[in-house]
């Protein structure tokens, strides 16, 4: 079992920045991949960014250059730095772990970007 707790969401003006954090209840060094997903109102959940145990990252094409994912295995933490935020980035952001024991989700943190 894995519990993920996100934090760092909030209200920000367009052009601003936020840093989301996800703390896992147990070690993540062996987790195949950790990721961030988001779900806007009326839309399906979509991948934002993903990072593997070897540090390989992949991003949604529309977010490359603005968002950066990182992981700190010593702190069981995955972070998402979001810059140059746009109103269309408004969504609930979810942390995900994907490993041999299964896929787990956090409860989500709301990001609202005002124009």
The two three-digit tokens of residue 43, written as one number: 């839309």
Which residues does 36 contact at the CB level (< 8 Å), separation at least 6?
A: 20, 22, 47, 48, 49, 50, 69, 78, 80, 93, 94, 95, 96
Measured CA distances, 43 to 26, 39, 88 (Å): 31, 6, 12
Backbone angles phi, psi at 45, to 5 degrees: -70, 140
How sure is the predictor about 47, in pLDDT bands with cuts at 50, 70 and 90? very high
Q: Which two tokens stand for residue 76?
A: 């069981």
Mean pLDDT of the chain: 94
User: In 66-108, which ranges are continuous DSSP H helix?
Assistant: none
Is 87 strand, coil or helix?
helix
Residue 75 in this model has a pLDDT that exceeds 90: yes
With a cut of 90, say whether residue 64 has pLDDT above it. no
């Amino acid at each position: 079992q894995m519990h993920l707790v996100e934090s760092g969401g909030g209200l920000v003006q367009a052009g601003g920045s936020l840093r989301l954090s996800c703390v896992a209840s147990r070690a993540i060094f062996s987790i195949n991949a950790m990721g961030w997903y988001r779900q806007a109102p009326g839309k399906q959940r979509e991948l934002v960014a993903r990072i593997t145990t070897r540090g390989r990252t992949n991003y949604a094409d529309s977010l490359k250059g603005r968002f950066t994912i990182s992981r700190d295995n010593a702190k069981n933490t995955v972070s998402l730095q979001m810059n140059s935020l746009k109103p269309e980035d408004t969504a609930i952001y979810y942390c995900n772990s994907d490993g041999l024991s299964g896929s787990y989700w956090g409860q989500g943190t709301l990001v609202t970007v005002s124009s």
